[in-house]
Amino acid sequence: MRAPAILKRVIGPFVASAVVLAAAPASAVLKIDITQGVVDPLPIAVSVFHATDEGGRKAARDIADVVTGNLERSGLFRPLDRRAFIQTPEAMKVQPRFADWRVIDAQALATGATTMLEDGRLRVEFRLWDVFAGQQMAGLAYFTAPSNWRRIAHLISDAIYQRLTGEAGYFDTRIVYVAETGPQTARIKRLAIMDQDGAHNRYLTDGQYLVLTPRFSPTSQEITYLSYRQGTPRVFIYNIDTGQQEVLGDFPGMTFAPRFSPDGNKVIMSFIKDDNSDIYTMDLRTRQIARLTRSSAIDTSPSYSPDGSRITFNSDRGGTQQLYVMNVDGSNAHRISFARGRYATPVWSPRGDLIAFTKFVQGRFFIGVMRPDGSGERLLTESFLDEGPTWAPNGRVLMFFRQRPTRRDGSGGETRLYSVDLTGHNERRVVTPTQASDPAWSPPGSAPPLLR
């Protein structure tokens, strides 16, 4: 027992002096602050996967192509030209020769292998490498029906995105939108759904009735939207799996601008009565209706905060159309937009930190974001007509629709979907087979579950 105490006494001073000695040189280390860097997209090499047998050969190339396309569209990555690659997929079976990839300036490298199993399933193996550190950053293996190869490619894209940005990916998601065909005077509008990259496009309604503002359920395979099916515009719910449509609530008049609550149990919408629109919710299980606003002004476009505690909406109760935020029970409604112009279609970010909106000022439309307290307003896009922002599930990217008129009076031209990064960079058109408007991004993992 005594020995340790003595040891402590003897060694104690030495330890203390050692600490002092260790601390002294540390202060002499040259310290440099690095505050600037390159904002260019990260150079990444996505190699064609190694097909271990003939069955997996097509998937090996297709998956790499889809991953490359996803990463490129995100604007955060610059996939390198495969013709510059030195090492073949076969040669990388064990581990890549990192020097070969450093030479072409790749900072990250994605490799993989595909195998057709005896039971008919496809096995896809994927690895992500840090080229300069010479380390594996991620490794995953999937088993699935060969027809699901595209989903696998999206999941791999998500894994790469998440590992390199720290943020969840949004590639395994879908977009529901309104497909528009025909002349402006006799427009046919159909509900359509597609993968985030434009693949698997299909139409949900036949275009017999006008449809508007589709929104995804966060929890089920359902879409709520506005349809003229019953003559007056009413809010409907559409089941993607069954194709069933159902009018929502027994409102004596026009309901519009629907949106699900974050838990998926309620739909919040506007209801017009006597030329006055107020905000209502309907519980999907009990079918109970609750009124949240009671102003004589037009209150519309409600959107929940992701935690379900607050609601943002737009109202002209102050004279012009502006953004407001209120508690989920309708109390404490206060205005948050005060700059010049009119504000509409507020949408709360899935992150909760921002609200996206459409702004109209001096004859131009803008898509912008501001904090929920109204501060930090930033405008991301500008055109003759930009409208209807929707958030990617990770709160990093916005999609909206834009009309480019061909005539001076604003008629003619095309209506198309666009996406833009939260920074205002990387604005690009979303390819759809027809003209399109009113996009809504699905929540993450909304696609049917995948066999693994």
Partner 1 sequence: MRNGVLISAVIHMAALWIGFVGLPDWAHSEPELVEQPVIVELVTVSEETRAARPKPEPVKEDRPPPNPPRKLEAPRSTEAPPAPAEPEPEDTVVVPETKPEPPKKTAKPKRKPASPSRKVAKAKPAPPKAAATAPEPKKYKFDADRIAALVDKTPRKRSAPDAPETPRTPPKVTSPTAQPLEGQQVTSSEVDALRAQIERCWHIPAGARDAENLVVEIRVFLNPDGSLRREPQIVDDGRMAADPFFRTAAESAARAVLKCEPFKMPIAKYPRWREIELRFDPREMLG
Binding site for partner 1 (CB under 8 A): 21, 24-25, 27-42, 76, 98-99, 102, 107, 130, 132-133, 137, 162-167, 351, 396, 421-423
Which backbone phi and psi does 375 adopt, to 5 degrees?
Answer: -85, 170
Closest CA to 272 of 300, 247, 246: 300
Packed helices 57-74 and 149-165: angle between N→C axes, nearest 10 degrees = 40
**Both structure tokens of 433:** 């087979």
Residue pair 305/312 in contact (Cβ under 8 Å)? The answer is yes
Q: What is the rounded CA–CA span in Å between residue 14 and residue 24?
A: 15
Cβ closest to partner 1, residue 214 vs residue 372: 372
Residues 354 and 371: their CA atoms lie apart, in Å, by 5
| For partner 1, the closer CB: 354 or 436 | 354
Hey, what amino acid is at 416? R
Q: How far is the CB of 360 from partner 1 (least distance, A)?
A: 26
Burial of 310 (0-12, 13-18, 19+ CB in 10 A): middle
What SS3 class is residue 354?
coil
We find the least distance from the C-beta atom of residue 447 to partner 1, in angstroms, to be 23
> In whole angstroms, how close is the CB of 381 to partner 1 at the nearest point?
18
SS3 at position 110: strand
- Min separation Cβ 446 and partner 1, Å: 22
For the bound state, the minimum distance from the C-beta of residue 96 to partner 1, rounded and expressed in Å, comes to: 12
What's the min distance (Å) between Cβ of 158 and partner 1? 13
CA-based nearest residue to 118, from 56, 50, 49: 56
Nearer to partner 1, 133 or 451 (CB): 133
The pair of structure tokens assigned to 361 is 């000022």
- Which lies closer to partner 1 via its Cβ, residue 99 or residue 117? 99
- Supply the DSSP symbol for 15: H
Of 75 and 439, CB closest to partner 1: 75
Cβ of residue 99: shortest distance to partner 1, in angstroms?
Answer: 4
In the complex, what is the shortest distance from the CB of residue 270 to partner 1, in angstroms, rounded to a whole number? 33
CB atoms within 10 A of CB 301: 28
Q: How many angstroms separate the CA atoms of 118 and 40, rounded?
A: 44
**Cβ nearer to partner 1, comparing 146 with 352:** 352
Token readout for 121 is 């399933």
* Closest to 59 measured CA to CA, from 144, 136, 138: 144
Q: Which is nearer to partner 1, 31 or 83 (CB)?
A: 31
User: How near is the Cβ of 330 to partner 1 at its closest, in Å?
Assistant: 31
Q: Report which residue type is found at 448.
A: P
Count CB-CB contacts under 10 A for residue 206.
9
Residue 3 or 38: the one with the smaller Cβ distance to partner 1 is: 38
Q: Which is nearer to partner 1, 61 or 163 (CB)?
A: 163
